[in-house]
Amino acid sequence: MTEPISTVSLPRSQLIVGGQKSGKSRRAELLARAWLDGAPDREAALIATGQPWDDEMRERIARHRRDRAERVPGMATLEEPLDLAAMLARHSTPQRLLVVDCLTLWLTNWMMPAQPSEELTRGWSGQCAAFLDALQGAPGPVILVGNEIGLGVIPLGSQVRAFVDALGVLNQRAAQSCETVTLMCAGLPLALKGPQP
């Protein structure tokens, strides 16, 4: 993706959705780099929600860290698999851009934890509401990254169908809360809501 990104300003909140390898994380990184280039006192941090439960995921996380360090050297990485509301409240400032990557893994951590827990599943509704409240109150810009997985066939299994439904609802609620929404497809951004940077 080579289209120019405005360094003047970014929307207060934006959601970038798309399929796997659609370019959504790369788009968020380009926006973060433009943000950092816009003024010397700016900061950027990525809030990673993925957890290294197996060798493949550990390697994937390590590769993402290496790639991100090359593309956006000034962006810090924070890790939080569950409490995104607290992370936004703790780390958002007018001079710091936060990138949450990604909402899909965050929901997975709540609905399909590696160590099954009814307490986690029951706590999802309150955590989601707290996160959306924190997003509305964040003093600095926030970019949310998530997957759009509801375009395919209806999945087998009630647990998977419940997850796909919950992700669709989460994406809708996040889109309502954000000033801009972008759909990524084949590395290209399609504006769904608001002015695009």
Nearest Cα to Cα of residue 111 among 149, 148, 158: 158
Contacts 24+ apart (CB under 8 A), 164-168: 166/107, 166/111, 166/124, 167/103, 167/104, 167/107
- Catalytic sites, residue numbers: 64
Of all helices (H) and strands (E), which one includes residue 13?
strand 13-18
CB 162 within 8 A of CB 107: no
- The number of C-alpha atoms within 13 Å of 121 and in the hemisphere containing its C-beta is 11
